[in-house]
Amino acid sequence: MSFDTPWLLSALALLPVLWWLLRVTPPSPRRQAFPALRLLLGLTPAEESAVRTPLWLLALRLLAAGLVILGLAGPISGAGGALPGSGTLILVIDNSWAAAADWTARMAAAEGVLDRAAQAGRNVAVLATAPLPDGTAPRLSPAMPVVDARARLAAITPEPWPPARAAAAAALGAQHWPQAGVAYLPDGLAAPDDRGFAAALAAAGPVLVLQGAGPPPRLLLPPAVAGESLVARLAQLPAPGPTPPAVILAETGDGRALARAVITLGANAAGGEQAIRLPPEIRNQLARLVLAGPASAGGVVLLDERWRRRPVGLAAADAIGAEAPLIGDLYYLRRALVPYAELREGNLTDLLARPLSVLILADRPIADEAEAASVARFVESGGVLVRFAGPLLAEHPDAFLPVRLIAGDRAMGGAMSWGKPAHLAPFPSASPFAGLSVPGEVTVARQVLAEPTAALASQIWAALSDGTPLVTAAARGAGWVVLFHVTANADWSNLPLSGLFIDMLRRIVRLSAGIAAPLDAAPLAPAETLDGFGVLGPPPAAARPLAAGAFATTPPSPAFPPGFYGPENDRVARNLANGLPPLAQAAAIAGASVADYAALGRTRAFGPPLLAAALALLALDLLLSLVLRGVLRPRWVVLALLLALPPAARAEMPAGDNPALQTRLAYVVTGDDEVDRVSRSGLAGLSDYVNEHTAASLAAPVAVTPGSDDLSFYPLLYWPITTAAAPASGQVAALNDYMSHGGIILIDTRDADAGAEFNPGGAAMLRRLGAELAIPPLAPLTVDHVLARTFFLLRDFPGRYDGATVWVQRDQDRSNDSVSPVIIGANDWAAAWATDADGHHPYAVIPGGDRQRLLAYRFGVNLVMYALTGNYKGDQVHVPAILERLGQ
Amino acid sequence: MKAATRRAEALAARLPPLLLAAERVAATVAAGLHGRRRVGEGESFWQFRPFATGDATARIDWRQSAKSHRTFVREAEWEAAQTCFLWRDASPSMRWHSTLAPVEKAARAELLLLALAALLLRGGERVRLIDAAIPFSSGTAALAGLAEALEHAPEGAALPRAREIPRFAQVVLISDFLMPVAEVRALLARFAALPARGMLLQILDPAERDLPYDGRVRFLGLEGEGEAVIPRVEGVRDAYRARLAAQTASIADCARDAGFGFAVHSTDRPPETALLALYMALSA
């Protein structure tokens, strides 16, 4: 604590004098008109006891006087530390990737420097050493007053590339101010041009280097793949003392952390690594590794298809016959896998010559030794071998089978058989197929049989209803051998004709490990790039295409920032560590004094608040004096105080919660806190969007419980389906009543039509609701429906997910203005609409992109308009017909 | 013209309640006490008598005289005894009331005056304001005129000049009588010399009676008497009460000497008791 003008404090010595003066001076008398004054003239009281100012009033006045003296003396907290030089102050900030981790502290330190410059009345020039995103070199700002410099400082953000110290040195050298001083906030990392930069700093004036106390700069390196595990690697500037352990989170594209690795770094450690062990199918969902802690581009590693590419090889015994439509061995396999995997076909040797994730052999025995050796190598190193049975395999079982087969096959349900084709049993919980629903129409008429062994039960991934294994698997080395006991065509069973076949194959492919693609010389355009805090965004203006082969040799710069490069379905990640030299400590600047951030913290002046408090006390004193003299009546004073505090008085009034006064959206309380929170923030986000873009004015959304709350006030009810207990009959009745009186319920199963995967039990719940609620016959929502054009013209209706069908009432119900009382979808709209307190979207949309979010909001606007205006825009649907009629 | 109209409207707005209050107060008194309703009826004209040597020529009624060959003098002998002259103090000190009293002293004085006038008029007597330029009024309709005259009476002199009071008139003076006793004594001596008799009513505010203030107070006079700073009012309260009692006693002495009745009324009391006292004193 220090003072601007300390000598003013000596006035505090006058306070006792003031006390004495106030004490001996009687207060001014009350004034009182009095007709019988003549009788009073000349009267004197018997004893003249001096009337004194009351003690509390005296204390009040002394306090006010003391506050005035203190306030005028200008107390300042946190002032300490001196700035170099006496003329213009040059503030140099490294805003490279390494500065992002302690950016808040760095900005506070820079503000502290500006505070002191403002006290000293010095002008400030600001220089940020990283090149700007448009590719221009760092520029030194002109010397300007501190107020302008603060705005300039606030505009500086960390950039995801190293500083351009040579250009910064040139900018420093081009300008000279007499008596200048330099305050420098370095990022602590060595750069090629450090020597010249240090010389330029020293030439500009005396240098003060400000250093933070946080952990040394850390850089997450691209992970290595070692067998089943992903090895996270971290580089750190060696520090003499112990540093806090680094926590690395493996995250999916929508920000869920799937695994966590902790790297403990000892003294002087230059880095460390830690394996993240994840099942391949989980690992393939990873999109990035993130260093927990302050956000920084150095703490983010993007993972691309190199870590999860899964080429699938197909081979059949009879290459020609396998191509035949409907009956070929590979026909159904190809059609099942083409949308999801990269397919390769050819003979076995050619296929295995290139990296492969999954090899599928349809009734093709592995004949010779050479083939067996290469297949064995493939499986041992992590490949998945999938085999389909058939006449050939039944005759010639080989070593690459999970189970021993009984020679020959069995047939059921043929013309000469008493038995019937067998159905599938539900999948065992340990099977990768667990959770897939088993359609009743899948039957197996013929299959190869496994020799019963003790281990057979644990190898079964799928079985028939009589317990005979249908799919068996065995781990072999790092890989798997999987056998379908039926053919890959419809000869032995109709499994390949069912949708289950596709799901089973996808599960198997997902099980496999990814294969890195070779980096080639074709230039790739930047698609999405990281900013200084490691957040993906559009590439900066200066970004240029770069060949993937040159990633490792090109240092990050505005032209080649870290991020995703390449076309949309084949993104290649360029990480910050690609092309960065090893981290090294920057050399100390000769002749510079070094201070900690804390030495030059923010200052705070207490003078104005003290003076304001003194003013308030004096005003109070004035009021009290007037009351004591009888000029003001106490009730007037109370009235004046009440008038002076209207906002506070209003704040205490109970908020009117009459739902009839404002239009607002509502959501059904599910009992699941997380879901309710998403619903609330989603509807709040949608309400804000609607208020901003349309003439509708919606108040904050409310949670309602059907049956206990009156629903008639709400035009639209959002209802996310959970697996919680079924609604009571009272609730169902309330909802039916709501729908029959013109309300609209948006039912959201939040599972992207993926059934049990995203929202287990949701489908069953929806079925139960469908039985109880009075839901009219439904039809898919098309672009011709009014809902697709109430405000925006929409073709898709995405939420957080895209593509799921949205269902609305099929028939036009005249009694309800043809407005569908229920809209059922699976796109998890609330999550797409949700915003957090900062206005950000906490839930990523899938597959993603601003466009999908925008469309989600537009669907929301259309929905609100549909609920508010009904079929008002219905005419638009009929415009073609009307025009045609007019033409006639 | 406009200003006059406005004043008239304001007056009209204010008069009825005052008159109404006066009538109400008067009615409570008149009901039980006043048995003889028409005493001195037909007094507006007494008689003509032939001119006699020694009569002032100004008293000749020329209109009557012109009807015949004789000269007549208009006689109005009994007027003095049957006319009541009313006066209330209109000085600024009367326009004051403390927090202890509901109305100003002046308002109470006007109310009592009008109520008394209403009683008298109802009894067939004639009333007139001292120092006012309106003629004698009689009959109940005169009450409104009286109220208007009260309204128009200028603020000012603490005591009436009392130049045109006829002999044997009844005089009612309503005031706080806080002026020097000598002035009152002189006035009453003039009345006694006429002779005229009557009643003095002293109206006091409860605050004037009790001096209910504390601490250091600067008292300001209402008629430019200056001011007085009393350091501790509670210290002089007894002395003040003694002075006030002495003042009241002196006024009462004066009244007794002049043959006047005397009563004190406090504005925190109902006006009916004071009116009763006044009326009893006048009708005795």
Residue B248 is predicted with a pLDDT of 93
Q: Check whether residue A528 and residue A491 sit in a common domain.
A: no
Q: Which A residues 21-50 touch B at CB under 8 Å? A: 26-27, 29-41, 43-49
Q: How far is B148 from chain A (nearest CA, A)?
A: 26
Q: Check whether residue A188 and residue A243 sit in a common domain.
A: no
Of A469-483, A497-511, A612-626, B110-124, the least confident? B110-124
Q: Which tens digits make up the pLDDT trace of B122-159? A: 766 778 888 766 665 666 567 777 877 777 777 766 67
* All structural domains of chain B: 2-35+78-283 (3.40.50), 46-76 (no CATH)
Long-range Cβ contact pairs of A68-72 (< 8 A, separation 24 or more) = A68/A610, A68/A611, A68/A614, A69/A8, A69/A9, A69/A11, A69/A12, A69/A15, A70/A9, A70/A12, A70/A610, A71/A606, A71/A607, A71/A608, A71/A609, A71/A610, A71/A611, A71/A613, A71/A614, A72/A5, A72/A8, A72/A607, A72/A611
Q: State both tokens at A839.
A: 């206005």
Residue B20: band (very low, low, confident or very high) from pLDDT cuts 50, 70, 90: low
Q: Check whether residue A454 and residue A549 sit in a common domain.
A: no
Does residue B36 register a pLDDT over 50? Answer: no
- B181-193 helix and B233-258 helix, angle to the nearest 10 degrees: 10
* Residues in chain A closer than 8 A to B230 (CB atoms): 40, 43, 45
* Residues in chain B closer than 8 A to A51 (CB atoms): 215-216, 231-232
Residue A689 is predicted with a pLDDT of 92
Q: How many domains does chain A have?
A: 5
CA distance B97 to A786: 78
Q: What is the CATH number of the domain that holds A668?
A: 3.40.50.12140
Minimal Cα distance from B239: which residue of A?
A43
Does residue B44 register a pLDDT over 60? Answer: no
Mean pLDDT of A318-333: 84
Q: How far is A4 from chain B (nearest CA, A)?
A: 44
Q: How far is A648 from chain B (nearest CA, A)?
A: 34
* Residues in chain B closer than 8 A to A30 (CB atoms): 213, 215-218
Does residue A525 register a pLDDT over 80? Answer: yes
Mean pLDDT of A761-771: 76
Minimal Cα distance from A46: which residue of B?
B235
B206 sits in which H/E element: helix B206-210
Q: How far is A69 from chain B (nearest CA, A)?
A: 32
Q: Check whether residue A728 and residue A668 sit in a common domain.
A: yes
Inter-chain touch B225–A31, beta carbons under 8 Å: no
User: In 3-state terms, what secondary structure has residue B45?
Assistant: coil
CB B265 within 8 A of CB B112: yes
Rg of chain A taking only CA atoms, in angstroms: 38
Residue A645: band (very low, low, confident or very high) from pLDDT cuts 50, 70, 90: low
Provide the mean pLDDT of chain A: 83
Q: Check whether residue A209 and residue A358 sit in a common domain.
A: no
Q: What is the CATH number of the domain that holds A380?
A: 3.40.50.880
Residue A864 is predicted with a pLDDT of 92
Interface predicted TM-score (ipTM): 0.71
Inter-chain touch B216–A46, beta carbons under 8 Å: no
What lies within 8 Å, CB to CB, of A391 at 6+ separation is A363, A409
Q: State both tokens at B59.
A: 């008293």
Could you tell me which residues are beta bridge partners of residue A536?
A530
Could you tell me which residues are beta bridge partners of residue A236?
A218
Inter-chain touch A27–B230, beta carbons under 8 Å: no
Nearest CB among A30, A37, A38 relative to B215 is that of A30
Provide the mean pLDDT of chain B: 77
CB A60 within 8 A of CB A88: no
Nearest CB among A26, A35, A43 relative to B230 is that of A43
Task: Name which residue leads in pLDDT, A413 or B120.
Answer: B120
Q: Check whether residue A387 and residue A458 sit in a common domain.
A: yes
Q: What is the CATH number of the domain that holds A593?
A: 3.40.50.410
Residue B245 buriedness (CB in 10 A; 0-12 / 13-18 / 19+): exposed
| Residues of chain B with a CB closer than 8 angstroms to some CB in chain A | 93-94, 96, 105, 176, 178-180, 205, 207-208, 213, 215-222, 225-236, 239-240, 243-244, 247
Mean pLDDT of A173-183: 85
Residue B3 is predicted with a pLDDT of 53
Q: Is residue A624 part of a domain?
A: no
Q: Check whether residue A286 and residue A298 sit in a common domain.
A: yes
Q: How many residue contacts between A and B have a Cβ separation below 8 Å?
A: 99
Nearest CB among A37, A40, A51 relative to B215 is that of A51
Residue A422: band (very low, low, confident or very high) from pLDDT cuts 50, 70, 90: confident
Residue A652: band (very low, low, confident or very high) from pLDDT cuts 50, 70, 90: very low
What lies within 8 Å, CB to CB, of A244 at 6+ separation is A215
Q: Check whether residue A670 and residue A736 sit in a common domain.
A: yes
CA distance B284 to B265: 20
Q: How far is B147 from chain A (nearest CA, A)?
A: 25
Q: Is residue A517 part of a domain?
A: no
Q: Is residue A68 part of a domain?
A: no
Inter-chain touch A39–B225, beta carbons under 8 Å: no
Residue B202 is predicted with a pLDDT of 92
Of A280, A303, A326, the one marking the end of a domain is: A303
Of A256, A286, A303, the one marking the end of a domain is: A303
Q: Is residue A8 part of a domain?
A: no
Minimal Cα distance from B246: which residue of A?
A39
Residue A649: band (very low, low, confident or very high) from pLDDT cuts 50, 70, 90: very low
Mean pLDDT of B59-85: 76
Sign of torsion over alpha carbons A184, A190, A194, A198: positive
Minimal Cα distance from A53: which residue of B?
B216
Domain limits at A435?
311-511
Mutation site, B214, B218, B229, B250, interface A, largest A CB count within 10 A: B218
Q: Which A residues 291-310 touch B at CB under 8 Å? A: none
Of A489, A511, A533, the one marking the end of a domain is: A511
What's the per-residue H, E or C state across A823-874? EEECCCHHHHHCCCCCCCCCCCCCCCCHHHHHHHHHHHHHHHHHHHHHHHHH
- Percent of all residues in chain A with a pLDDT value above 70, rounded to a whole number: 91
Written as one string, the DSSP assignment of A363-427 is S----SHHHHHHHHHHHHTT-EEEEE--HHHHHS--S--SSPEEEEEEE-S-TT-SS-PEEBPPP
Q: How far is A33 from chain B (nearest CA, A)?
A: 5
Does residue A248 register a pLDDT over 80? Answer: yes
What lies within 8 Å, CB to CB, of A444 at 6+ separation is A412, A421, A422, A423, A424, A464, A470, A486, A492, A493, A495
Inter-chain touch B217–A29, beta carbons under 8 Å: yes
Q: Check whether residue A321 and residue A385 sit in a common domain.
A: yes
Q: How far is A22 from chain B (nearest CA, A)?
A: 16
Mean pLDDT of A319-341: 83
Q: Calculate the dihedral angle through the C-alpha atoms of B128, B133, B139, B142, rounding to the nearest 10 degrees.
A: -110
Q: Which tens digits make up the pLDDT trace of A122-139? A: 889 999 989 988 888 888
Task: Name which residue leads in pLDDT, B157 or A184.
Answer: A184
Q: Is the pTM of this model over 0.80?
A: no
Q: Check whether residue A295 and residue A418 sit in a common domain.
A: no
Nearest CB among A37, A44, A51 relative to B219 is that of A37
Q: Check whether residue A739 and residue A797 sit in a common domain.
A: yes
Residue B12: band (very low, low, confident or very high) from pLDDT cuts 50, 70, 90: very low
Mutation site, B155, B183, B214, B230, interface A, largest A CB count within 10 A: B230
Sign of torsion over alpha carbons A9, A13, A16, A19: negative
Q: Is residue A75 part of a domain?
A: no
Residue B76 backbone phi and psi in degrees, to 5: -135, 60
Residue A724 is predicted with a pLDDT of 63
Q: Is residue A669 part of a domain?
A: yes
* Residues in chain A closer than 8 A to B243 (CB atoms): 39, 43
Q: How far is A36 from chain B (nearest CA, A)?
A: 6
Q: What is the CATH number of the domain that holds A285?
A: 2.60.40
Q: Check whether residue A241 and residue A294 sit in a common domain.
A: yes
Mean pLDDT of A709-715: 86
* Residues in chain A closer than 8 A to B179 (CB atoms): 38
Amino acid identity of A709?
D
Q: Which A residues 468-527 touch B at CB under 8 Å? A: none
Q: Is residue A417 part of a domain?
A: yes
Q: How far is B137 from chain A (nearest CA, A)?
A: 33
User: A69-101 burial string, b = 16+ CB within 10 Å, else e?
Assistant: bbbbbbbbeebebebbbeebbbbbbbbbbbbbb
Residue A360 is predicted with a pLDDT of 92
Q: How many CB atoms lie within 10 A of CB A838?
A: 6
* Residues in chain B closer than 8 A to A38 (CB atoms): 178-180, 221, 225
Amino acid identity of B191?
F
Mutation site, B236, B237, B248, B250, interface A, largest A CB count within 10 A: B236
- Sheet containing A89-93, strands listed edge to edge, beginning at the edge strand earlier in sequence: A124-128, A89-93, A181-185, A207-211, A593-596
Of A44-58, A214-228, A717-731, the least confident? A44-58
Query: Which of A92, A264, A248, A259 lies closest to A181 in space, CA to CA?
Result: A92
CA distance A122 to A234: 43
Of A205-209, A316-320, A333-337, the least confident? A316-320
Inter-chain touch A32–B236, beta carbons under 8 Å: no
Mutation site, A28, A31, A40, interface B, largest B CB count within 10 A: A40
Residue A860: band (very low, low, confident or very high) from pLDDT cuts 50, 70, 90: very high
CB B196 within 8 A of CB B167: yes
Residue A383 buriedness (CB in 10 A; 0-12 / 13-18 / 19+): buried
CB A533 within 8 A of CB A539: no
- Percent of all residues in chain A with a pLDDT value above 90, rounded to a whole number: 8
Cα separation values, A104 from A99, A100, A108, A811, Å: 10, 8, 6, 59
* Residues in chain B closer than 8 A to A45 (CB atoms): 230-236
Inter-chain touch B216–A47, beta carbons under 8 Å: no
Q: How far is B203 from chain A (nearest CA, A)?
A: 12
Q: Is residue A736 part of a domain?
A: yes
* Residues in chain B closer than 8 A to A52 (CB atoms): none
Residue B162: band (very low, low, confident or very high) from pLDDT cuts 50, 70, 90: low
